[in-house]
Amino acid sequence: MTLDGNKPMTQEQLRTWPAFASYVDALSRLSRGTVECQIGEEDPDTLSAASAFTLSIPRGHETWLIHVPKQRDPNSPPPWREPTVVRMLAAMRDNLTGAKALKQWPSAVKATWQLVIDHPCRAMTLAEVSNCVNLSAGYLGEQFERITGSSFKRILRDERIAYACDLLENSNMRVAEIASRLGGLSLSQFNRSFVAATGKSPTDWRRSFAPRRNAGYSPHPPGAMRSSD
Protein backbone atom coordinates (compact mmCIF):
# COMPACT_ATOMS: atom_id res chain seq x y z
CA MET A 1 0.00 0.00 0.00
CA THR A 2 1.40 3.39 -1.02
CA LEU A 3 -0.15 6.36 0.76
CA ASP A 4 -1.26 9.33 -1.32
CA GLY A 5 1.69 11.59 -2.10
CA ASN A 6 4.28 9.00 -1.09
CA LYS A 7 6.60 7.04 -3.34
CA PRO A 8 8.15 3.60 -2.86
CA MET A 9 11.74 3.58 -1.67
CA THR A 10 14.32 2.09 -4.00
CA GLN A 11 16.94 -0.43 -2.92
CA GLU A 12 19.59 2.16 -3.76
CA GLN A 13 18.01 4.67 -1.38
CA LEU A 14 17.68 2.04 1.32
CA ARG A 15 21.37 1.17 1.13
CA THR A 16 22.34 4.77 1.94
CA TRP A 17 21.29 4.17 5.57
CA PRO A 18 22.63 0.79 6.72
CA ALA A 19 20.91 0.95 10.12
CA PHE A 20 17.50 1.50 8.54
CA ALA A 21 18.19 -1.32 6.07
CA SER A 22 19.12 -3.68 8.91
CA TYR A 23 15.83 -2.95 10.65
CA VAL A 24 13.91 -3.57 7.43
CA ASP A 25 15.64 -6.92 7.01
CA ALA A 26 14.94 -7.88 10.62
CA LEU A 27 11.29 -6.82 10.49
CA SER A 28 10.86 -8.78 7.27
CA ARG A 29 12.09 -11.81 9.17
CA LEU A 30 9.69 -11.24 12.06
CA SER A 31 6.58 -10.41 10.04
CA ARG A 32 4.64 -12.80 7.87
CA GLY A 33 3.92 -10.23 5.22
CA THR A 34 6.01 -7.80 3.24
CA VAL A 35 7.64 -4.76 4.80
CA GLU A 36 6.90 -1.65 2.74
CA CYS A 37 9.19 1.39 2.74
CA GLN A 38 8.18 4.77 1.36
CA ILE A 39 9.35 8.37 1.20
CA GLY A 40 6.77 11.08 1.70
CA GLU A 41 4.31 12.48 4.20
CA GLU A 42 4.51 11.51 7.85
CA ASP A 43 2.00 8.96 9.05
CA PRO A 44 0.08 9.52 12.27
CA ASP A 45 2.47 8.87 15.15
CA THR A 46 1.40 5.34 16.02
CA LEU A 47 3.21 2.04 16.00
CA SER A 48 0.06 -0.02 15.85
CA ALA A 49 -3.05 0.56 13.77
CA ALA A 50 -5.87 -1.76 12.81
CA SER A 51 -4.31 -2.98 9.56
CA ALA A 52 -0.59 -2.32 9.99
CA PHE A 53 2.30 -1.24 12.17
CA THR A 54 3.67 2.06 10.90
CA LEU A 55 6.61 4.28 11.75
CA SER A 56 7.89 7.58 10.35
CA ILE A 57 11.59 8.46 10.57
CA PRO A 58 13.00 11.89 9.60
CA ARG A 59 15.88 11.68 7.10
CA GLY A 60 17.29 15.07 6.20
CA HIS A 61 14.50 16.99 4.47
CA GLU A 62 12.55 13.78 3.84
CA THR A 63 10.42 11.44 5.89
CA TRP A 64 11.10 7.73 5.58
CA LEU A 65 8.14 5.51 6.40
CA ILE A 66 7.98 1.84 7.24
CA HIS A 67 4.72 -0.07 6.98
CA VAL A 68 4.34 -3.64 8.30
CA PRO A 69 0.94 -5.08 7.32
CA LYS A 70 -0.75 -7.19 9.96
CA GLN A 71 -1.91 -10.74 9.41
CA ARG A 72 -5.64 -10.37 8.77
CA ASP A 73 -6.66 -13.86 7.69
CA PRO A 74 -8.79 -15.24 10.56
CA ASN A 75 -7.97 -18.77 9.45
CA SER A 76 -4.22 -18.24 9.69
CA PRO A 77 -2.12 -19.07 12.73
CA PRO A 78 -2.21 -16.33 15.38
CA PRO A 79 0.37 -13.56 14.84
CA TRP A 80 2.25 -14.46 18.01
CA ARG A 81 5.34 -12.47 17.01
CA GLU A 82 3.55 -9.14 16.85
CA PRO A 83 4.81 -8.01 20.30
CA THR A 84 8.39 -8.52 19.07
CA VAL A 85 7.60 -6.48 15.94
CA VAL A 86 6.23 -3.64 18.10
CA ARG A 87 9.31 -3.69 20.36
CA MET A 88 11.62 -3.60 17.35
CA LEU A 89 9.76 -0.67 15.81
CA ALA A 90 10.01 1.18 19.13
CA ALA A 91 13.76 0.49 19.23
CA MET A 92 14.01 1.63 15.61
CA ARG A 93 12.30 4.91 16.48
CA ASP A 94 14.55 5.47 19.49
CA ASN A 95 17.78 4.62 17.66
CA LEU A 96 17.17 6.33 14.32
CA THR A 97 15.83 9.69 15.50
CA GLY A 98 17.51 12.61 17.22
CA ALA A 99 20.98 14.11 16.98
CA LYS A 100 22.71 10.76 17.52
CA ALA A 101 20.76 8.68 15.02
CA LEU A 102 22.38 5.30 14.50
CA LYS A 103 24.22 4.96 11.19
CA GLN A 104 24.53 1.18 11.31
CA TRP A 105 23.96 -1.67 13.72
CA PRO A 106 26.99 -2.43 15.90
CA SER A 107 28.92 -5.26 14.27
CA ALA A 108 28.62 -7.49 17.36
CA VAL A 109 24.84 -7.07 17.47
CA LYS A 110 24.49 -7.74 13.76
CA ALA A 111 26.67 -10.85 14.00
CA THR A 112 24.67 -12.11 17.00
CA TRP A 113 21.35 -11.52 15.24
CA GLN A 114 22.58 -13.35 12.14
CA LEU A 115 23.85 -16.28 14.19
CA VAL A 116 20.48 -16.71 15.92
CA ILE A 117 18.36 -16.53 12.77
CA ASP A 118 20.72 -18.74 10.75
CA HIS A 119 21.23 -21.39 13.45
CA PRO A 120 18.29 -21.33 15.87
CA CYS A 121 18.65 -25.05 16.61
CA ARG A 122 22.26 -24.75 17.71
CA ALA A 123 22.79 -24.92 21.47
CA MET A 124 24.09 -21.48 22.46
CA THR A 125 24.15 -19.07 25.36
CA LEU A 126 24.73 -15.35 25.44
CA ALA A 127 28.02 -15.95 27.25
CA GLU A 128 29.24 -18.27 24.48
CA VAL A 129 28.24 -15.83 21.76
CA SER A 130 29.83 -12.91 23.61
CA ASN A 131 33.15 -14.78 23.66
CA CYS A 132 32.97 -15.06 19.88
CA VAL A 133 32.61 -11.28 19.47
CA ASN A 134 35.08 -10.39 22.25
CA LEU A 135 32.57 -8.64 24.49
CA SER A 136 31.27 -9.34 27.97
CA ALA A 137 27.92 -11.12 28.09
CA GLY A 138 26.38 -8.25 30.03
CA TYR A 139 27.46 -5.60 27.54
CA LEU A 140 26.45 -7.63 24.49
CA GLY A 141 23.06 -8.37 26.05
CA GLU A 142 22.45 -4.68 26.75
CA GLN A 143 23.47 -3.66 23.23
CA PHE A 144 21.42 -6.42 21.61
CA GLU A 145 18.26 -5.44 23.48
CA ARG A 146 18.84 -1.73 22.86
CA ILE A 147 19.07 -2.29 19.11
CA THR A 148 16.43 -4.99 18.60
CA GLY A 149 14.02 -4.18 21.41
CA SER A 150 14.12 -7.77 22.67
CA SER A 151 16.56 -9.80 24.70
CA PHE A 152 18.89 -12.36 23.18
CA LYS A 153 17.01 -15.07 25.04
CA ARG A 154 13.63 -13.93 23.68
CA ILE A 155 14.79 -13.77 20.05
CA LEU A 156 16.47 -17.17 20.31
CA ARG A 157 13.33 -18.68 21.81
CA ASP A 158 11.11 -17.15 19.15
CA GLU A 159 13.32 -18.33 16.29
CA ARG A 160 13.21 -21.84 17.68
CA ILE A 161 9.45 -21.70 18.06
CA ALA A 162 9.06 -20.43 14.49
CA TYR A 163 11.17 -23.38 13.30
CA ALA A 164 9.03 -25.75 15.37
CA CYS A 165 5.81 -24.26 13.96
CA ASP A 166 7.03 -24.95 10.46
CA LEU A 167 7.79 -28.58 11.32
CA LEU A 168 4.44 -29.01 13.07
CA GLU A 169 2.63 -27.70 10.01
CA ASN A 170 4.77 -29.34 7.34
CA SER A 171 5.89 -32.68 8.69
CA ASN A 172 4.70 -35.73 10.57
CA MET A 173 7.53 -35.58 13.07
CA ARG A 174 6.57 -36.33 16.63
CA VAL A 175 6.62 -33.43 19.07
CA ALA A 176 9.42 -35.09 21.02
CA GLU A 177 11.52 -35.35 17.84
CA ILE A 178 11.00 -31.67 17.11
CA ALA A 179 11.96 -30.75 20.66
CA SER A 180 15.17 -32.75 20.37
CA ARG A 181 16.27 -30.58 17.43
CA LEU A 182 15.98 -27.32 19.33
CA GLY A 183 19.30 -26.76 21.02
CA GLY A 184 19.01 -29.62 23.47
CA LEU A 185 15.63 -28.67 24.93
CA SER A 186 13.80 -31.36 26.84
CA LEU A 187 10.23 -32.12 25.84
CA SER A 188 8.85 -30.38 28.93
CA GLN A 189 11.03 -27.29 28.29
CA PHE A 190 9.89 -27.18 24.69
CA ASN A 191 6.22 -27.49 25.63
CA ARG A 192 6.52 -24.67 28.18
CA SER A 193 8.36 -22.41 25.73
CA PHE A 194 5.88 -23.12 22.95
CA VAL A 195 2.85 -22.32 25.10
CA ALA A 196 4.52 -19.17 26.47
CA ALA A 197 5.24 -17.93 22.93
CA THR A 198 2.07 -18.90 21.04
CA GLY A 199 -0.61 -19.53 23.65
CA LYS A 200 -1.12 -23.06 22.32
CA SER A 201 0.50 -26.42 22.95
CA PRO A 202 2.47 -27.95 20.05
CA THR A 203 -0.21 -30.62 19.64
CA ASP A 204 -3.01 -28.07 19.51
CA TRP A 205 -1.02 -25.98 17.03
CA ARG A 206 -0.63 -28.93 14.70
CA ARG A 207 -4.28 -29.89 15.05
CA SER A 208 -5.47 -26.33 14.34
CA PHE A 209 -3.16 -25.23 11.54
CA ALA A 210 -1.55 -28.17 9.78
CA PRO A 211 -4.57 -28.86 7.50
CA ARG A 212 -4.05 -25.56 5.69
CA ARG A 213 -0.61 -26.67 4.61
CA ASN A 214 -2.29 -28.95 2.11
CA ALA A 215 -4.03 -25.90 0.66
CA GLY A 216 -0.76 -24.15 -0.05
CA TYR A 217 -0.58 -21.85 3.00
CA SER A 218 2.97 -20.80 3.88
CA PRO A 219 3.84 -19.64 7.40
CA HIS A 220 7.09 -18.05 6.26
CA PRO A 221 6.63 -16.18 2.98
CA PRO A 222 9.80 -14.49 1.76
CA GLY A 223 10.17 -11.30 3.77
CA ALA A 224 11.15 -8.52 1.43
CA MET A 225 10.75 -4.82 1.09
CA ARG A 226 8.40 -3.65 -1.62
CA SER A 227 10.34 -1.13 -3.60
CA SER A 228 10.88 0.06 -7.12
CA ASP A 229 13.85 -1.43 -8.92
Which string of DSSP letters, residue by residue, matches 109-128?
HHHHHHHHHH-TTS---HHH
- What's the pLDDT at 50? 63
Rounded Cα–Cα distance for residues 122 and 24 (Å): 25
pLDDT tens-place string over residues 43-58: 555 555 567 888 999 9
Rounded Cα–Cα distance for residues 149 and 21 (Å): 16
pTM for the model stands at 0.85
Q: How many CB atoms lie within 10 A of CB 75?
A: 10
Residue 98: Cβ-neighbour burial (10 angstroms; 0-12, 13-18, 19+): exposed
Residue 218 has pLDDT above 80, yes or no: no
- What's the pLDDT at 181? 92
Q: Which residues of 194-212 are buried (b: 16+ CB within 10 A; e: fewer)?
A: beebbebebeebbeebeeb
Q: Where are any strands of DSSP class E within 36-112?
A: 36-39, 52-59, 62-69
Q: What is the mean pLDDT of the chain?
A: 86
Domain boundaries, the chain: 1-99, 105-211
Phi/psi at 8 (nearest 5 deg)? -60, 145
pLDDT tens-place string over residues 145-203: 999 999 999 999 999 999 999 999 999 999 999 999 998 889 999 999 999 999 999 99
Rounded Cα–Cα distance for residues 144 and 148 (Å): 6
Rounded Cα–Cα distance for residues 227 and 14 (Å): 9
| The most confident of 14-28, 53-67, 73-87, by mean pLDDT | 14-28
Residue 184, phi-psi category: left (phi > 0), alpha (psi -120 to 50), beta (remainder): left
pLDDT tens-place string over residues 103-119: 999 999 999 999 999 99
Residue 60 has pLDDT above 90, yes or no: no
CATH 2.60.60.20: does it fit domain 105-211? no
